[in-house]
Structure 1
Amino acid sequence: MIIDTLTSPVILFFILGFFAACIRSDLNIPEAFAKAMSIYLMAAIGLKGGVEVAATGFSLDLAAAAVSGVLLGFTLPVLAFVLLRSFAKLSAIDAGAVAAHYGSVSVVTFVTAIELLTLQGIRPDGFMVGVMALMEIPAIITGLLLARAYSKRLKETESVRHEGESSLMHEVLTNGSVILLLGAFVIGFIAGAEGFAPIKPLFDAGFKGVLCLFLLDMGLIAARRLLETRKITVPLAALGIILPIINGTIGVIVGTLIGLDPGSAAILGVLCASASYIAVPAAMRLALPQADPGIYLAMSLGITFPFNILFGISLFAAFAKFLG
């Protein structure tokens, strides 16, 4: 599976971008074009997920996956927080911010995993799009609670906290990726296969090509983020790989125990293993401005994202197939 993944055009474009950044190439994807690709990918995956659920209907698997995803989103940051404090010796503020990233999800990792698992013949259920969207928020709440509970600095400024509380919740609940994914999912569900047919050529045929170009850009960003920062110690780099392995393993086991098929169990593992680098950083900048972005962005985008894209997805798929 790993060989198949590494020889896939989708992954090879990511490697190309990573390599280009490492040799200081001036290769660059315009920001407006990258944002347009991101919107397209999220709309496409949401639409197709909604169409699939419309065809199959709501089920106990959907409910079980949604509840499990939310619970995992609340609990996984606790393990990350403990390891970051004890093993990496981070402050409570930085540990809380990083832990929030490792309980939330990466949309790009999810989209890539859907494509790779489909190529391997274990396509996940469409309702996992909704599960992914639900897992964005719980980890942010847990990370903030942990940081505030264990940081003296935050306790001293507790009176100021309430002033930004409503704006934080608005930021989290109206995050663009969450709104677009859930909105496209609902549209696909309402339209069904018949309503989706006229726009299917746009959102289906062009999907793989756009994903290749998007991952080229992500390879450039991941490598440059890693090269720019000097704050990643050996323990932090190690946790950037250890945490996704632990979290992903837990996700696959939970998915198998609640009765999901191997593809859906693998995707739940991927969601647990992925680290957010879009929604959570935005929330942390607002809620924990004292936390160091150089740490949580370099770990999530520079270390965990490449690991999951190159190896993690295949490992969790193989584990899910073995358990299944």
Structure 2
Amino acid sequence: MIDPIILFFLLGAVAGLLRSELRLPAAIYEFVSIVLLLAIGLKGGVELARQPFTSLLPQMLTVVAMGFGLTLLAFPVLRYLGRFKRTDAASIAAHYGSVSVGTYAVAVAYLGSQQVSFEEHMPLLLVLLEVPAILVGIVLARGISRQTRWKSIAHEVFLGKGIVLLLGGLLIGWVAGPDGLSSIEPLFVDLFKGILALFLLEMGLIMATQMGSLRRHGPFLVVFAIAMPLFSALVGTWLGWFLGLSIGGTTILATLAASASYIAVPAAMRISVPEANPTLSLAGALGITFPFNVLIGIPLYHALAVWAQTFAKG
């Protein structure tokens, strides 16, 4: 049986492709996004309060290195095989080295429906993965010079809405602990899947608007938008096994690696590399990679994590 939240995404996609008048009001979408980001952060913060920070340091450093590495690997593929302009190749690579909060939320819901547990500090790794790809993408596009607007970049990266809400949720959950958050659980825990369903409805509508761009820019971007997540998922799966994560944790890490940003990176690139074409990045990340991960990728990454754990034990 297909999870209802996936059906919400398909409803939005079909409605958008058929040019329906269906739209989520801007204020509602803003509210849904805020609740979703805070809920993810709060859950991670509660778990962070249960374990010493030093025990998480190896995973944090590994994830940061992965963010740098995936961006650096994607760039030459786009630049020399795809023949994109330097700025466009750097911008797209940054999107694919970063992470999608929406994809993470779907992975959490999927594992919950399969009754598969995972390490609850994963939102911390989600936050860390937002930053390296942006920095690498800017350097690849511009190099380092006196004209680089590092102050504006730092403000957008570290004080953007997504990062502030995720980090804020982490800190609140860490300080309050599970008992302190019990009074707000009805909104941030009990209604999580309902909020996610509305978010995916809007994502389906937005995804439909990017399909025209994919048709205009040829098959390479379509192939890249599927092949890159699959390769990145293999990297994430191997790192999950290397770090000793559970099957659920390995699935989440593979999903984080395979996802592509459509919130933090577009905003940062708009400030730092304004000549890059944002349509190319969003067409790949939101038009192909996001639906691929939601419909096919996440179950595939879970199966890959199961195989990796079984192979390791055998």
Determine the structure 1 residue equivalent to 2:293.
Answer: 308
In the alignment, structure 1 residue 224 sits paired with structure 2 residue 232 = no
Residue 144 of structure 1 pairs with residue 138 of structure 2: yes
1:152 equivalent in structure 2: none
- Code of the residue aligned with 1:299 in structure 2: it is G
Q: Extract unaligned runs of 5+ from structure 1.
A: 150-154
Q: Residue type matched to 2:265 in 1?
A: V
1:54 is aligned to 2:49: yes
How far off is 1:228 after superposition? 5.3
Report how far residue 192 of structure 1 moved.
1.1
More off after superposition, 198-207 vs 265-274:
198-207
The 8 Å contact of residues 80 and 102 in structure 1, kept in 2 or not, is answered as: yes
Whichever residue aligns with residue 222 of structure 2, its letter is A
Q: Is contact 2:214–2:287 with CA below 8 Å preserved after alignment?
A: no
Matching residue of 2:181:
196
Q: Equivalent residues in 2 for 1:161-240 (5 A)? A: 161-162=147-148, 164-227=149-212, 230-240=215-225
Question: Residues 42-95 of structure 1: CA distance to partner in whole angstroms, max 9, x if unpaired?
Answer: 1111112211232345463x2222111100111101111111122211111110
Name 1:22's counterpart in structure 2: 17
1:238-253 paired onto structure 2 within 5 Å: 238-253=223-238
Q: Look up the match of 2:312.
A: none
Q: C-alpha separation between the residues in 1 aligned to 2:117 and 2:210?
A: 32
Change (3 A) 1:237 1:253: same
Q: Is this contact kept in 2: 1:65–1:255, CA < 8 A?
A: no
Question: Retained in 2: the 8 A contact 1:55–1:193?
Answer: no
Listed as ranges, the matches of 1:260-275 within 5 Å are: 260-275=245-260
Distance 1:224 1:305 in 2: 13
Of 118, 124, 145, 2:118 maps to 124
**Residue 230 of structure 1, CA deviation:** 5.0
In 1, the alpha carbon distance for the partners of 2:116 and 2:62 equals 21
Q: CA RMSD in A?
A: 1.6
Work out the percentage of aligned pairs sharing the same amino acid.
44
Match of 2:82 among 88, 91, 94: 88
Question: 1:130: how far off?
Answer: 0.6
Match of 1:33 in 2: 28
Structure 2 residues without counterparts, runs of 5 or longer: 310-314
Structure 1 contact 252–320 (Cα < 8 Å) conserved = yes
Counterpart position of 2:281: 296
**Of 234-243 and 191-200, the range deviating more from structure 2:** 191-200
Per the normalisation by structure 1, the TM-score is 0.91
Partner of 2:40: 45
Supply the AA of the counterpart residue of 1:144: I
